[in-house]
Every structure is written in structure tokens, then in C-alpha cells.
Copies of this chain bind each other. A is one copy, B any other.
Amino acid sequence: MTENHALPLYVQTAERLIREINAGRLLDGERLPPERDMAQDLGISVGTLRKALADLTDKGMLDRVQGSGNYVRHSPDATSVYAFFRLELVDGGGLPTATILSVDRLEKPNDLPDFGASRYGFRIRRLRRLGGVPAAVEEIWLDGAAKDQLITEDLSESLYLYYRDQLGLWITRAEDSVGVGHVPDWAPEAFPAVPGSVCGYVERLSWAQTGDNIEYSRTWFDSDKVRHITRMK
């Protein structure tokens, strides 16, 4: 009995191309070789390659132009659903940055929803800024199974990039639940809203390409300055 646990060839191919693009070996705007040539180089049929390319197109990482060619689109976050879920200043604009407040490995508290396989999780608390202005405080729970240790210095400004580059995980599905909350008591003084006061509140569950539900996060945002935006197509 010859069991085949490998992913379908077109999925492997799509992921391979995504890695090439993310690693910068395929640049933004670059035109790929003709499909027939690519397929031959990869040792697969044109149809299989086309299915992989269609996947990338869906993800917004590729433009396919009949009669012309396939063109790479590599905007920094086009690969993530986070491109569609984000905080924005009411006035618009403002570069996002984040300061880590704390990182701890803890047993998951009971008030967290079920997510991930481990009893433990990493709790990351951050202060997020938009254009330098403190905009939100955030508590992220990363499932303990994702990594043994997590060192503050390792974490990049973008957790998405950290997941992808250090853990080999990327978020492909997310579910947001938005309402009104109260600023948590651990919010730093830099955050203008007083602990306990009313503010916007987002809960998010995120799933990686593996299908695992690896992350749960809560964000409290200053509703006077910030909006939570979603675009759907």
C-alpha cells in the first residue's frame, strides 16, 4: 500500500512561488516566464501550474494578462487577510508601529475561547501607534504549540512577518467580532484613554494555512481617533 501524505502538486507549487516572492527572489512587477517554460522547468504540466497561478491571483499576489504574461504583485501585506482587517486613523493615513509591553508563556485562562492544541499560550501585550499616535492596546495569545520559546527581541514590529519568517505560518482566515469594551487596567500611560473608560473593542480568531487556529487576540482602541476597517470583495 503506497499512501500519499503529500499536498497536491498545485498547492506545493503555489506555496513554492509564494516563498519565492516573499523571499524577494521574485520582485514586484516582475514578469514570470511563459507558462509552458515554467511548467517544464518545474517538471509539471501547464494545467497544474495554471491552477497554482490562479491561487496566487486569488491571493492578490499575481496579475495575469492574456497575451502578455504573469506579473508579480508584492505589496508587503497583500498576502495576509490583515490587509483587509485593520485600524485606521479617522483622519486617514499614519504608519503603523507597535511597542511590545510584555511577553509571557502562561497557561491559557478560562475566559479565552477554545483555540489551538496546547494548554499553554504566549501572551503578548503591545501598544500600537498610527503615525506615532498611540491608537490601541492589544493582547495577543499565540498557541503554545507554535513554538517552545518566544524572546521579545525576536519579535518584529509586524507579528505577521514573525509568524511567516520565523514560524513558517501565515494567516489565511480570520474572524473578527467588534463591539464596545473598557480599557484594560494594564494599559500604559501613553495610551490616552483612562483604564476602565469606554472604547472600541475587537476580538479576533486567526487560522494559519495549516488550518490550525493558532491565535486569539483582543484589541482595545481609542474610538475618538481610530476606526476598525474591513474591506470585502
Chain A contacts to B: CB under 8 angstroms: 81, 84-85, 88, 172-180, 198-200, 202, 221, 223, 226-233
Contact = CB atoms under 8 A, between A and B. Distances in A.
A186 B121 CA distance: 46
Given A174-B232, A176-B230, A232-B232, A198 B200 contact: no
Ordered nearest first, which 4 A-B pairs have the shortest CB separation? Answer: A180-B223, A178-B228, A176-B230, A178-B178
Given A173-B233, A174-B232, A178-B230, 4 more contacts: A176-B231, A177-B227, A177-B228, A178-B227
Contacts of A230: 85, 175-178, 230, 232
A202 to B, nearest CB: 8
A218 B98 CA distance: 31
Nearest to A232: B81
A15 to B, nearest CB: 17
Nearest to A204: B230
Contacts of A221: 179
A232 B85 contact: yes
A172 B232 CA distance: 8
A226 B201 CA distance: 13
